[in-house]
Structure 1
Amino acid sequence: MHTPRIKICGLTAPSEAAFCAEAGAHAVGLVFFPKSPRNVSPLQAREITRKLPPEVASVGVFVDASFETIMAVSETAGLSTVQLHGNEPPELAAALHDQGLAVLKAFYVTAPPLMERASAYPSATALVEWGKGVLPGGNALAWGDETPPLPRRSPLVIAGGLGPDSVADIIRRFRPDGVDVSSGVETEPGKKSFDKIQKFIRIVGQCQVPGPIKEPFTHDEPKSPQ
């Protein structure tokens, strides 16, 4: 049994990155999507990633960006991992993986791209959200109690609508390898609460999932579809 890995997403300040790393996060996320209140420029992201030790993954979140754009931003910002949060094809995930980047691909329970598509992306870790709201991402909406069991794929990351008060139940229900939180540890959109981050990490640290756990935020060999 192991504790799930933790990603704190939507950072906008170097001080947030330093705190997340010190508190025990395994990855932090930087959003490159202009419509998001957490959007940062590649140069802003670079200042944030410089505060991270090597063992904490720096994840860039993109929505239907091109291969060239993602690679250019990744180089400038110092990213180790990319998160594809739109309708990107499997070929893009594979091409990014071949460049040495770890890849997360977002899927949804209630909207396209559906979780059932995850097997078409053997080069990526599946990140699953409830899938309601206007913007790509969790939109601070909690997972519904009627959610059916998810098709098991490992590594698996659960995201969307998580927070200190809900994450233990989500881990119990879905047994993920990792959890991803953004608005659930904020005082306002784009402004993280250090108290909430610390509480979230402490609660996840008390949860157990079957092992051996597979690291969801670092580069690995392509996985066979399951």
Structure 2
Amino acid sequence: MVQVKICGITRVDEALLCARWGAHAVGCVFHPPSPRFVSDLRAAEIAASLPAGVSAVGVFCDADYEAVMRRVERCGIRVVQLHGAESPDLVRRLQAQGVSVIKTLFLNRPPTFSDAEVYGCASAFLAECAGGSLPGGNAIAWDWNAARRMLGDRPLVIAGGLNPENVGRVVEEAQPDAVDVSSGVESAPGRKDPEKVKRFLETVASCEPPRATRRIFS
């Protein structure tokens, strides 16, 4: 099935609800300007609370190698999402340390979908449009199919503008391996709405992917 990451988690109880209802991963944002930013201590608590089979993902924007590895070690995170203009060398260095790296590529700003080749060592790519005031989807809907057209058969996570009402169509048309949602299942920035989370996960679980999918989150 298509996997689901619920991003911007700020509380242990909400992380556990996401896991209970079938999320494959939860994201902890380490970008201070974000209203979903979490401290190292809170991220470590969230990661430690998750059951086996649910990944904690650290989300970074233009952080350097030392900053990323410091949080990997402190917080018990083995998957990172690089959401800025990070270099291919950073991806390679992190992968060499056994860290799984998801590199974000953008429709509207660098690095774009056409840069996938230079980031070929990444474990997967997350595709979104860019264009809001903060890194991340900013609840902006876009042509999700453009990611599949540009990225071909590479492991793909679709993000940006997803919600319980449209995610079924995105799965059917864009054929991702995983989907990533944050504001589309919130009651306020950084606070997840239990009913929206449940409906989102149920919708994805009910979808029959049009092709075989790959596991991005363990």
**Does the Cα contact within 8 Å between 2:10 and 2:38 map onto a contact in 1?**
yes
Percent of aligned pairs with the same residue?
Answer: 45
Structure 1: gaps spanning 5 or more residues: 219-226
Tell me the residue number matched to 2:76: 78
**Does the Cα contact within 8 Å between 1:108 and 1:129 map onto a contact in 2?**
yes
Tell me the residue number matched to 2:142: 143
Partner amino acid, structure 1, of 2:79 = T
Aligned-residue RMSD, C-alpha: 1.5
Tell me the residue number matched to 1:171: 171
Number of residue pairs aligned between Structure 1 and Structure 2:
216
Which one has a larger percent helix, Structure 1 or Structure 2?
2
Tell me the residue number matched to 1:51: 49
Structure 2: gaps spanning 5 or more residues: none
Tell me the residue number matched to 1:223: none
Q: What is the 5 A alignment of 1:5-16? A: 5-16=3-14
| Structure with higher RCO (Cα < 8 A, 6+ apart) | 1
Tell me the residue number matched to 2:65: 67
Partner amino acid, structure 2, of 1:50 = A
SS in 2 for 1:180: strand
Distance 2:144 2:23 in 1: 27
Distance 1:33 1:19 in 2: 24
Per-residue deviation, residues 130-169 of structure 1 (Å, max 9, x unmatched): 2221111101111248958333132100001111011111
Tell me the residue number matched to 2:185: 185
SS in 1 for 2:28: strand
Per-residue deviation, residues 13-52 of structure 1 (Å, max 9, x unmatched): 0001111111110110000001100000111101111110
**Does the Cα contact within 8 Å between 1:12 and 1:38 map onto a contact in 2?**
yes
Distance 1:41 1:184 in 2: 23
Tell me the residue number matched to 1:160: 160
**Does the Cα contact within 8 Å between 2:144 and 2:170 map onto a contact in 1?**
no
Distance 2:34 2:140 in 1: 16
Do the aligned partners of residues 161 and 111 (structure 1) sit closer, same or farther apart at CA in structure 2, a change above 3 Å counting? same
Partner amino acid, structure 2, of 1:27 = A
* Deviation at residue 191 of structure 1 after TM alignment: 0.5
Distance 2:113 2:146 in 1: 12
**Does the Cα contact within 8 Å between 1:154 and 1:177 map onto a contact in 2?**
no
Partner amino acid, structure 1, of 2:138 = N
**Does the Cα contact within 8 Å between 1:106 and 1:127 map onto a contact in 2?**
yes
Tell me the residue number matched to 2:90: 92
Partner amino acid, structure 2, of 1:187 = S
TM-score (norm 2): 0.94
Distance 1:199 1:184 in 2: 11
**Does the Cα contact within 8 Å between 1:102 and 1:217 map onto a contact in 2?**
no
Distance 1:142 1:202 in 2: 21
Distance 1:217 1:99 in 2: 17
SS in 2 for 1:212: coil
Tell me the residue number matched to 1:17: 15
**Does the Cα contact within 8 Å between 1:7 and 1:29 map onto a contact in 2?**
yes
Distance 1:120 1:162 in 2: 27
SS in 1 for 2:151: coil
